[in-house]
Amino acid sequence: MKDLKKIERLSRLIRYYILVSTTRAGSGHPTSSLSAVELMSTLFFAGFFKFHLQEADHINNDRLIFSKGHASPLLYSLWAAAGSVTESQLLTLRDFDSDLEGHPTPRFKYAEAATGSLGQGLSIGLGMALSAKYIDKLPYRTYVLLGDSEMAEGSQWEAMQIASYYKLGNLVAILDVNRLGQRGETMLGRDTDVYEERVNAFGWKTIKVDGHNIEEINSAYNVASRDNDRPIMIIADTVKGKGISFIEDIDGWHGKALSEEQKDTALAELGEIDKGLIGEIASPDDIKRTEYKPGSVDISDSGSPEPGELISTRKAYGRALVNIFNDFPDIVVLDAEVSNSTYSKIFKDSFPERFFEMFIAEQNMVGTALGLALRGKIPFVSTFAAFFSRAFDQIRMSQYSKTNIKFSGSHCGVSIGPDGGSQMGLEDIAIFRTLIDCTVFYPCDAVSTEALVRLSASFKGNVYIRTTRMDTPVIYDGQELFKKGGSKVLKQSSSDIITVCAAGITLHEALKAYAELLKENINIKIIDTYSIKPIDKETIIDASLKTKAIITVEDHYPEGGLGEAVCSITNIACPVYLLAVRKMPKSGKPGQLLDYESISKEAIIKKVREISKD
């Protein structure tokens, strides 16, 4: 028999912890935390949430995501009530040296992911639920606490439609409808009926509850904990600031801590607190993860391509995923309904059980990939390079979870041709270069593509692989080795006057320019800067000492691209000239557009001649 009275007492203790920690910090979100106390204390301590306290990474643990990340004082207080965090630790909330940050990050060992940018937690939870149901075959459930304000985010509904599409009955969302957002009432206020109608329309089962009635909440979790064929959302009518009369349901208290005097008044209202009370969390059954062995797949054209063979790097990307899967069986591939263009379809055709169609919903795709990565998978995520910009917030947030996502952006640059500017990825290198510890690779041929895909799978960390639409000739032997932070000097002599650094499509333009200039007895050094981040500083500095100038050539805007990566190197001993996309792109043939943007063979030749005359 569950002791619901004990949960009431634990809820009072949790409210105490929320108040003292936020007042000590002088900031935080106590009212947003107070509204969800009963929802979370019942989940934790009524036997529904199953977790090995001493093994936060145990594969059978249920997962909990606070998408409503500003309610972090509640998260920390829950674990304090479970005996895993001391009150003295709680009182370090938001301190510089504390793991209890203003919004949760994995520095706190019980935080699954970094949250706080609203509208992302449900996608992360979706990825974890996918991993449990379809990959590991484990019975754990994923719970996601949502705020009502973030239901205005389109990414929430992207996640909801995919969760119902994949019939994720192991995913439970808890919606805290406390009516008030940051600056006033939310879009729907307390209209839980409308929330229910909309959520049902997306294929979810819904249960409405009084979010402060422990018996109702307990009954809802009983239903949610059964085997279900679709995801469940518990829609809870709550009161912001619940339990403290002078802040309950009152606008203007969002993100404000109580003063010492106000805190003392609030604690007097709470009544007796039992600091010795410890809530018990149920332990999960120990079930082994299903071991997966990919087996071998015969692809008729999967052999190492020959020098001179024409093949696009996007196609080489798809082939590479298949070729490396036996060595990296934790790989999972996601695509935004363009797998026939990114060529992840090659992997899908070979290993359909490890491919997840995410449809045209890039924000959710990236959040889902984060959830998969946090459960030990190696997600390769592909779409057109341009469309990753739509998901930049999710990409940005993933770095705070120290995650392991491999992004592949195809159709980069003006060289895609007649589709026009809307399809051209021209900002993508800049986007990924801004991220902490994110590696950026830009292969020029099929051999380097496969090598860099394999390399990307071999180390932990976010990686961006930029692929090209058009076919390009293979220039490397199949045994060529590539490394993070490396480059390849393809052409050099003792009489080189200028160095040209290029990558991807423009490398082939540089090689054509080299051949033409050689006829004029003008020698230039050609460097394939396939690793844009980290850049090969040593090789480029050496080139700057031996030639009078460096020209960078890229099918990308100058801001944040290859040219600026080269310019960021200190101790370069010569001028650096940037050839990049500077005009408004438009439709046309690839060659026309490369000429139009002055990043073609002819533009390189012209620039070399100009510099050599100085």
Query: Does 291 qualify as catalytic in the annotation?
Result: no
* Cβ 447 vs Cβ 531: under 8 Å: no
Report the DSSP pairing between strands 142-147 and 171-177: parallel
DSSP-derived 3-state class of residue 441:
strand
Contacts for 418 with CB less than 8 Å, ≥ 6 apart:
587, 588, 589
Q: Annotated catalytic residue: which of 153, 362, 427, 450?
A: 362
Separation of alpha carbons 85 and 111, rounded Å: 13
Separation of alpha carbons 513 and 612, rounded Å: 14
Residues in the chain: 614
Nearest to 576 by CA among 594, 585, 561, 564: 564
Give strand pairing partners of 50: 282
DSSP-derived 3-state class of residue 237:
strand
- Residue 173 has phi, psi (to 5 degrees) of -100, 140
Separation of alpha carbons 233 and 206, rounded Å: 5
Contacts for 57 with CB less than 8 Å, ≥ 6 apart:
none
Scan for tokens 């050539």, then name that residue: 553
* Cβ 422 vs Cβ 389: under 8 Å: no
The secondary structure of 480-500 as a DSSP string is: ----TT--EEEE--TT--EEE
- Residue 390 has phi, psi (to 5 degrees) of -65, -30
Separation of alpha carbons 115 and 214, rounded Å: 27
Nearest to 490 by CA among 482, 501, 504: 501
**What are the helix and strand counts (H, E) for the chain?**
22, 19
DSSP-derived 3-state class of residue 232:
strand
* Cβ 553 vs Cβ 502: under 8 Å: yes
- Residue 142 has phi, psi (to 5 degrees) of -115, 125
Contacts for 302 with CB less than 8 Å, ≥ 6 apart:
319, 322, 323
The secondary structure of 535-583 as a DSSP string is: --HHHHHHHHHHSSEEEEE-SS-STTSHHHHHHTSTT--S-EEEE---S
* Cβ 395 vs Cβ 431: under 8 Å: yes
Separation of alpha carbons 159 and 585, rounded Å: 33
Scan for tokens 């001391």, then name that residue: 86
* Cβ 313 vs Cβ 449: under 8 Å: yes
Residues labelled catalytic: 362
